[in-house]
Amino acid sequence: LIATDWHARCNNHDEVKLIDVNFLLLKLSIRHLSRYDLLALCFKNPLVEIVAVNYLIVLPFGSAMHSFGVWDYAVLGAVLAVSSAIGVYYRFTGGKQRTVKEYLLADRNMSVTPVAFSLMASFMSAITLLGVSSENYSYGIQFIVINFAYGIFTPIATNMYIPVFYQLQATSAYEYLERRFGKTTRLMASLSYTLQMVLYMGIVLYAPSMTLEALTGISTVTAIIAVGLVCTFYSTIGGMKAVLVTDCFQSLLMFAGIFSVIICAFIDRGSFSEIWRIASEGKRTELFNFDPDPTVRHSWFSLILGGGVTFLSLYAVNQTQIQRYLTVKDLKTAQKALWLNWPILTLLSLTTSFSGLAIYSKYYNCDPVANHTLRHTDQIMPYYVIDSMGHIPGVSGIFISGIFSATLSTVSSAMNCLAAVTVEDYIKPMYLCIRKRPLTENLPLYTKLTALTYGLISIALAFLAQYMGEVLQTSLTIFGAIGGPLLGLFTLGMFARTPNEKGSLVGFTFGLALSLWIAFGGPKPPSPKLPIRVDGCGNPYLNATVTTATVPSSDNYLWLYRVSYLYNGVLGLSGTFFVGYVVSFVLRKVTNAHSDGKDPNLFIPILAKKMRKEKMRREKEMAILQDIN
């Protein structure tokens, strides 16, 4: 390309005719070749003939499909402005964020609804919205079974884990680990969480910006700076109240974006039955895969068990969610918030999944990736919106606002919670160690500065992410790999009296190492996708045959590397719990130590009740002995 000037010729029809062909290029890819000027690309076909000439003219944006118009930018700008305004409002109302309790815990007077929506929005990032639709487009609707896992494991989180944290009333969830095991365990777990969330913030900020740049013309730099600064602004000045209320607003936009896709598909295809018929013909409606083989990518077993562990790692022991439970007035309200979160989360998951089928109904015979219009299937939803609804003023803006809202809610939640963990787990202990007195002065200021720092770090990491290549997927895998061992560590402490600090450290180290090894070890066999077609593209230069899913031979791959990714957290949880328990049991036998004397509030309600009864019985026995003596 460097040595050649380019010229493209097209006629007035939908197809490009080849004349003295030198190359056949993608228009969407061409716009990334900013150093090379291009002339007269055909606007109606994604493939364009390129013939060497001597003309140099810049390719304008929006040639491949409907452009992102003024109304769309207006909608997106309004969303960012409203999010900022909410932060300003809570900065200058109420207690004006002068106390750490108000800044990090919203004065513990929030109602159920905003907390429930925030619980959902905190981890339904833009990556999730784009990924779930792509998953159902490429692999079918089997993934929706994970919603049953949410329902099964919600009462477990509600009745076993949340009461322990609510009794503790600690800003940092990792204070529990110090009380149960010791400072070393708390610090190790807290550092793991911090690394996990810092990496995730940068990726969540970068990934949708990269995808949207390719399809809307909003540059990655513009998207990262705009979203990053707005998010940092309202999170820093408005505190947890601003985060919760903004999450509510942004959740509605997420639903609006997804429903706009589904409504457009209904209009395009006429009915739900037609969408389902096309999906069924494309083999994308399989829902009852009960294969117990753990190497099967998605089955009822992997989705229920693996999805359940993932749910618990996020909603039972994660600092982001624990902090939200503590923003309400009592335990029952916190439990109600999690129960309300379930239908909200399920509705968004189901609609996002169905949107994948809806999009497939349009491109079932001309896959945009196989047609070389897109590079990745995770671009399929934004592409569909611009392609199908770009001519309607503001509609594309609503959808893109939903994607950005998902990013805003996730990053703002992470910023606020990282500030809480940093102040409680690092700054306060260091201050006490150095100054020999607790930190009480200017604590709200330190907390806000910490949140601001994390916001700037997320922006910096988002810029660095574009140079990381495969590290993007690596970092996302770290996020999943750390969640299982952390869940195992908290479960080890809450569900059994035997474990001690040494056992917990050995167990967590083992579980983390196992989880990371499985996540990053390789080589791994590729996951076969369902059949795709290109016979409807109307392009004579593409193979019009149906591409079928092929299953590569897995005999040469290590069995653990073939296990479904959904079991990664399960193995991390199991490894941490069982190794931690066995090591603790052996150490107690060797040292003749006993496990009595622990605060019953540190254990799940059933075990705590039993411990209180045992304590009362011992006290009665001691009283009787004293009376006898």
Name the residue among 282, 361, 367 with its Cα closest to residue 539.
Answer: 367
CA distance 337 to 262: 28
Burial of 170 (0-12, 13-18, 19+ CB in 10 A): middle
3-state DSSP assignment of residue 330: coil
Q: 226-238 burial string, b = 16+ CB within 10 Å, else e? A: bbbebbbbbbbbb
- Residue 467's pLDDT band (cuts 50, 70, 90): low
Instruction: Specify the pLDDT at position 539.
Output: 61
One DSSP character per residue, 576-589 reads HHHHHHHHHHHHHH
Instruction: Specify the pLDDT at position 465.
Output: 74
pTM of the model: 0.85
CA distance 624 to 259: 69
- Residue 385's pLDDT band (cuts 50, 70, 90): confident
pLDDT above 70: percentage of residues in the chain = 82
- Residue 36's pLDDT band (cuts 50, 70, 90): very low
CA distance 434 to 447: 19
CA distance 452 to 499: 38
218 has pLDDT over 80:
no
Between 350 and 57, the higher pLDDT residue: 350
Instruction: Specify the pLDDT at position 553.
Output: 60
6-7 vs 23-26, strand pairing mode: unpaired
- Residue 446's pLDDT band (cuts 50, 70, 90): confident
Instruction: Specify the pLDDT at position 513.
Output: 94
User: Does the domain formed by 70-548+557-579 have CATH 1.20.1730.10?
Assistant: yes
Lowest mean pLDDT among 42-51, 227-236, 534-543: 42-51
Q: 425-445 burial string, b = 16+ CB within 10 Å, else e? A: bbbbbebeeeeeeeeeeebbe
Lowest mean pLDDT among 7-11, 205-209, 238-242, 617-621: 7-11
> What's the count of helices (H) and strands (E) in the chain, helices before strands?
24, 3
| CB contact at 8 A, 399 and 260 | yes
Q: In what order do the strands lie in the sheet with 6-7?
A: 6-7, 47-52, 23-26
Most confident of 27-31, 92-96, 243-247, 401-405: 243-247
517 has pLDDT over 50:
yes
| CB contact at 8 A, 116 and 252 | no
Q: Per-domain residue ranges for the chain?
A: 70-548+557-579
Q: 17-56 burial string, b = 16+ CB within 10 Å, else e? A: eeeeeeeebbbbebbeeeeeebeebbeebbbbbbeeeeee
Q: Per the structure block, which two tokens stand in for 428? A: 């306060």
Q: Compute the CA torsion angle 376, 471, 146, 494 (nearest 10 deg).
A: -170
- Residue 508's pLDDT band (cuts 50, 70, 90): very high
536 has pLDDT over 90:
no
| CB contact at 8 A, 406 and 250 | yes
**Mean pLDDT score of the chain:** 81
CA distance 462 to 203: 6
CA distance 218 to 227: 12
Q: Compute the CA torsion angle 153, 156, 157, 162 (nearest 10 deg).
A: 170
CA distance 44 to 30: 15
Partnered with residue 532 across adjacent β-strands are: 547
Between 501 and 379, the higher pLDDT residue: 501
Between 266 and 61, the higher pLDDT residue: 266
Q: Compute the CA torsion angle 392, 393, 396, 397 (nearest 10 deg).
A: -160
User: Which tens digits make up the pLDDT trace of 154-180?
Assistant: 999 999 999 999 999 888 999 999 999
Report the residue count for the chain: 629
Q: 291-301 burial string, b = 16+ CB within 10 Å, else e? A: eeebbbbbbbb
Name the residue among 145, 204, 140 with its Cα closest to residue 346.
Answer: 145
52 has pLDDT over 90:
no
CA distance 38 to 560: 49
User: Which tens digits make up the pLDDT trace of 192-215?
Assistant: 999 888 888 888 888 777 766 766
